[in-house]
Chain A
């Protein structure tokens, strides 16, 4: 049996060396198995933190299989989109053991080496097993052609893409997207529509200053380009059809996307609950999707739309941030609250709604931990590319 205490202790000792550990790991991996280099992007700065984060998580749960196994299974399934195959696992294992040996020096005994080798075998077999299971039901990634790209504001584009095969997702989930312009860099976006008959998805992309993928999607991607999509992830912003409470949806910027998809879902389910969409933006120009939103409002009698501007010099009248405007209307105690937008906006919104007395388990939002991996376990959001 795996000696959990010994693994944890040795990992903690190694982790004290910080960024040097993954740096050594990747250098070792690429020298021993040069063919693995092409699986990674040029810059590995973020990748190193994700590796250490995932390893730390695995080691800390090594004696808690109920948590560890689902984590590893997700990791294994998710790695298929990176074109990781079974053959890569022994390579990573060898580089990992070499790295541990390097940092532990004389403390790396034969016995400890055996414990780590056994633990790694278990980890690899759970991951590859899950990957194999998944490959029976879904492809490692979906190709999706860009059918339209509309620049709606200075820095927001709306892309319509058509996956080559049926793409099974639920409104509120996120999709990892890779562009041909920036291979091997994946970022998460939430479709702004519920599943359609023609299989198309609408992505709302704000160009994050300095963001590699978002700037490619907003500025460089052309109609006809083929993106890759990973399997849909996330359950923080999805909506349970069986539970029929009314909805308060608070959106900031492109955080509108998953919330619009939820409105479409309620419509598809027969519109049996009320929904109030509070749409926050700094200026009126930033309300980039009003045509679609107003079209929904006109069609759906149970939907109320409240655009809120926080700082528009062209408009007179009262200005506020979305959640403050929402709080002026109802107590919202009986509502399910969904919030999506920038980290700052979501953070402030959640705090304010909790202060207003809404039970925390009725507030739905995603955590922002972009250096963590994989996002499905800790949540993924629509606007989350780092500069």
Chain B
């Protein structure tokens, strides 16, 4: 199988070439194909956890690197200024660089703020993802156990009917008893799910709402 992701193994290992670095977002959203049934592979939650951890680490390195680059610029400029002031001719001003550049400290601050925002949104999304997945798997567990319970109740209803029917026994009534018991048990169990599901959905909607960061939206609608 070949990975279908942004960070395929082909990209990760190209001999003789410097690698194009993966961004935190690419690491977070890497889409690894599952192994085919019966083939061994790493545990999915562990892999997800590692990927999230790696994305956060890369984010940290990028922030640190950006800070160092700005610091480097600052030192170079300071050194040039010092050098110039100590020239015998009293230090004439160098011509301005051709490109208009905003203040490096402002760029650094802006980049840090953006990374902080990205990371918060990613965390919130990740939380929402886990809540939804948990709710979904709980929902399926409860359905499955409701089915199981209903089947057992149906069988026991049939046994009861046979025991008490005697000569009045008919296959139709047996089937009716079976279905009634099945439906009654199943519906009862499902009602429990509905309540749980509603609570989970409300919690999730609230989380999702928190993501609807509207501070910048005043200009629209």
Query: Is the CB of A88 closer than 8 A to any CB of chain B?
Result: no
Query: Is the CB of B4 closer than 8 A to any CB of chain A?
Result: yes
Q: A212 vs B212: C-alpha distance in the bound complex, in angstroms? A: 8
Q: A228 vs B71: C-alpha distance in the bound complex, in angstroms? A: 44
Contact A347 B114 (CB under 8 A): no
Contact B29 A23 (CB under 8 A): no
Q: A44 vs B122: C-alpha distance in the bound complex, in angstroms? A: 11
Contacts of A154 in B (CB 8 A): 136, 139, 197
Contact A42 B117 (CB under 8 A): yes
Given known A-B contacts A38-B216, A94-B100, A212 and B62 have beta carbons under 8 A apart? no
Q: A107 vs B132: C-alpha distance in the bound complex, in angstroms? A: 50
Q: A49 vs B66: C-alpha distance in the bound complex, in angstroms? A: 17
Given known A-B contacts A27-B107, A183-B220, A387 and B136 have beta carbons under 8 A apart? no
Contacts of A10 in B (CB 8 A): none
Q: A24 vs B65: C-alpha distance in the bound complex, in angstroms? A: 12
Contacts of A44 in B (CB 8 A): 114, 117-118
Residue of A15, A102, A370 with most partner-chain B CB within 10 A? A102
Q: A313 vs B142: C-alpha distance in the bound complex, in angstroms? A: 12
Q: A30 vs B25: C-alpha distance in the bound complex, in angstroms? A: 21
Contact B66 A347 (CB under 8 A): no
Query: Is the CB of B158 closer than 8 A to any CB of chain A?
Result: no
Given known A-B contacts A45-B121, A45-B122, A19 and B147 have beta carbons under 8 A apart? no
Query: Is the CB of A210 closer than 8 A to any CB of chain B?
Result: yes
Query: Is the CB of A320 closer than 8 A to any CB of chain B?
Result: no
Contact B110 A30 (CB under 8 A): yes
State how many angstroms separate the Cβ of A120 from the closest Cβ of chain B: 13
Contact A343 B31 (CB under 8 A): yes
> Which residues, 195 to 219 on A, are CB-close (under 8 Å) to B?
207, 209-212, 215-216, 219
Q: A347 vs B1: C-alpha distance in the bound complex, in angstroms? A: 9
Contacts of A147 in B (CB 8 A): none
Contact B33 A344 (CB under 8 A): yes
Contact B216 A37 (CB under 8 A): yes
Q: A313 vs B111: C-alpha distance in the bound complex, in angstroms? A: 50
Query: Is the CB of A18 closer than 8 A to any CB of chain B?
Result: yes
- How extensive is the interface on chain B, given as a class? 35 or more
Contacts of A313 in B (CB 8 A): 143-144, 147
Q: A16 vs B117: C-alpha distance in the bound complex, in angstroms? A: 24
Q: Could you give, for residues 105-147 of chain B, a 1 whenever the CB lies within 8 Å of some chain A CB and a 0 otherwise?
A: 0111011001101100110011111101100100100011001
Contact partner of A343 (CB less than 8 A), chosen from B4, B97, B143, is B4
Contact A19 B23 (CB under 8 A): yes
Contact A16 B98 (CB under 8 A): no
> Which residues, 273 to 295 on A, are CB-close (under 8 Å) to B?
none
Contact partner of A24 (CB less than 8 A), chosen from B66, B117, B132, B197, is B66
- A and B contact pairs by CB, cutoff 8 A, 15 listed: A18-B20, A19-B58, A23-B62, A24-B107, A30-B110, A43-B118, A181-B212, A183-B220, A183-B221, A209-B133, A212-B125, A212-B208, A216-B208, A314-B147, A368-B31
Q: Which residues of B are interface residues toward A (Cβ below 8 A)? A: 1, 4, 6, 18, 20-26, 28-29, 31, 33-34, 58, 62, 65-66, 69, 97-103, 106-108, 110-111, 114-115, 117-118, 121-122, 125-130, 132-133, 136, 139, 143-144, 147, 197, 201, 204-205, 208-209, 211-213, 215-217, 219-221
Q: Which residues of A are interface residues toward B (Cβ below 8 A)? A: 15-20, 23-24, 26-28, 30-32, 37-38, 42-46, 48-49, 52, 94, 97-98, 101-102, 108, 110, 113, 154-155, 180-183, 207, 209-212, 215-216, 219-220, 313-314, 343-344, 347, 368-371, 386-387
